Amino acid sequence: MPELPEVEIVRRGLSPLITGARIDNLILRRKNLRFDFPVGFAKKISGTHITGVLRRAKYLLFELSSGQIILSHLGMTGNYRFFAPVKPGHFEKHDHVIFELSGTNPPSPFLIYSDPRRFGFMDLIDNQEDCAFLKHLGPEPLSNQLSAQMLRERFATRRGPIKTVLLDQRVIAGLGNIYVCEALFRSGINPSTPAKNLAVPNDCAQSDKLEDLTRSIREVLHEALEAGGSTLKDYRQVEGQSGYFQHRFAVYGREGEPCLRPACAGQIERAIHSARSSFFCPTCQT
């Protein structure tokens, strides 16, 4: 599933090409993705202009001149690309939503949303504050809201493994399995550690760990952005390129391989937390 860096890269790819564009027509080639499309979806947005492309957590937000917002979640296999069909109406099997655009200069007037597994979805909302998908999200990890003190406050009553807590979008928005595994490795924290154990008041060692974790989260996300995200299977940038951060994984997907930390003789192991795979080095993540 695309995580924060991948969604942000898609946003950056789309924004300069479609901001200011007019949606002349919206073609829905099926009635639903994960959920049904909003009633009258195509009619409501046809004729509007895209005034901005934002991101919140793992959601793309297309601001419209009508004041409404198209909320788009990529699910596991969703992607956006520009495509000019060889023949009118001749799109590919998994091209489910087609935006016909005018007024800007994109590579093609057709912006395609394709999703082989259809776990993504789209909604039409009036504002972010009242949107059920957005209103309970935690702070953005790349914002100034992320701090060791913020983590301490949010971990204080959490008995679950820190890996599970960091994946809770109400705690921090946008973090996913890959980048949590990598951040915990960099900060030397075992994913099974109860989150509240890192929030002990006046414990200097734990305070240092929270500072390390805060820094590691930021670093791994910034590095992933610079590398174009991580492509494990389906993710592609708007221009069609793969990401390259998967070549820098220290632990994710490396079960049974040696730890890459200098002077560590450990071997990467895999554990399950809340039905998700956690990869870590038991020797240096204590």
Using alpha carbons only, what angle is made at residue 142 by residues 136 and 143, rounded to the nearest 5 degrees?
A: 70
Q: Is 154 a catalytic residue?
A: no
93 touches 29 (CB < 8 A): no
Q: Is 276 a catalytic residue?
A: yes
Q: Which of 3, 6, 8, 182 is catalytic?
A: 3
Q: Which of 11, 55, 56, 58 is catalytic?
A: 58
Q: Is 8 a catalytic residue?
A: no
Largest Cα span, the chain = 68
Q: Is 226 a catalytic residue?
A: no
Q: Which of 22, 219, 276, 282 is catalytic?
A: 276
Cβ neighbourhood burial of 255 (10 Å; 0-12, 13-18, 19+): middle
In our burial notation (b when 16+ CB lie closer than 10 A, e otherwise), range 156-180 reads eebebbbbbbbbbbebbbbbbbbbb
Q: Which residues are catalytic?
A: 2-3, 58, 276
